[in-house]
Amino acid sequence: MKQFIITENEAGQRFDKYLAKLMKEAPKSFFYKMMRKKNITLNGKKATGNEKLEKNDEIKIFLSDETFDKFAGHVEVKKAVCKLDVVYEDEHVLFINKPVGMLSQKAKDTDESLVEYLITYMLESGSITKEDLRTFHPSVCNRLDRNTSGIVAAGKSLAGLQKLSQLFKDRSLKKYYRCLVSGIVENEQYIKGFLYKDEIHNKVSVLSKSKDDCVLIETKYKPIERYDDCTLLEVHLITGRTHQIRAHLASVGHPIIGDYKYGSNRINNKYKKAFGLESQLLHAYRVEFPKLEGVLSKVSEKVFTAELPKLFDKIIDSKKNNL
């Protein structure tokens, strides 16, 4: 007989979903059969699988060690070590200032990404164990392009991950970016359009009218500082779509400097030669939280900012000094 006590990281999910993670090699029909026969119980009672688990719930599994081990499989954890720039952390959430060049989530099995670094960080800090990873994997709630820096929010507990993800989904969390764009922007602007994604080339285009497979995008921006040939903008990302800021600003004649996909090669090469710039000057600078209760009460109505990368700062300083 195996006994498990539900932790905070596991609470909030359906019982059958938990069992599918705990015994990942077993077919779902097996769980339901074992529950009907009371070989799997929840708090000493017969269960159906659709119960929502709470912290300290007790699960008993009346199977031989050999059978359980066969269905549970092995927990394989490949540690991926990278020093994280932590902006904020509590027991439920973690905000990280992601550097340029780091993936938010891996694209293929051999990749190392912020998610893997996060798991290693939590294992080494003791906030999660290897066995915990059977039933819960910490993850990020928003993704930045590899060559976009700034705040990435992650859930350390299941409840934190769910609540934080919902804030991004319903747009009640406000997201602001800083970017350096070509040309002079005089006034604050609100722009909208329809984004079409070319999956083959991983590139998007912004259209004035909707067509099949398009999604509405909304972006606000205002100038922070103007220089001789470029402008530092603060961008309020209202909707959050693939390459939205990069493509939207390029569509109105103000491409982000360093963006070879949507910008000007001539301008980008000028900055590459002068500063060694090889990525877009786009940084997820600030997040503002609404009034919250429960697991996210500690971040209620708080504002978090992430420092600009050193190269971004260096280029701004040079523009201020007309270098």
Contacts of residues 191-194 at CB distance under 8 Å and 24 or more positions apart, as own/partner, are 191/218, 191/219, 191/220, 191/221, 191/248, 191/252, 192/216, 192/217, 192/218, 192/219, 193/217, 193/248, 193/251
For residue 290, give Cα distances in angstroms to 5, 217, 303.
33, 22, 9
Phi, psi dihedral angles at 58 (to 5 degrees) = -110, 125
Alpha helices in 91-177 (DSSP H): 114-125, 158-170
Contact status, residue 282 vs residue 177, Cβ threshold 8 Å? yes
Assess whether 145 carries a catalytic annotation. yes
Single out the catalytic residue among 145, 198, 213, 317: 145
Instruction: Give the distance from CA 40 to its chain's centroid.
Output: 35
Strand (E) or helix (H) holding 245: helix 244-251
Rounded to whole angstroms, the Cα distance separating 36 from 279 reads 57
Rounded to whole angstroms, the Cα distance separating 287 from 302 reads 8
Quote the tokens at residue 39. 């070989």
- Beta strands 40-42; 45-46: pairing state: antiparallel
Residues labelled catalytic: 145
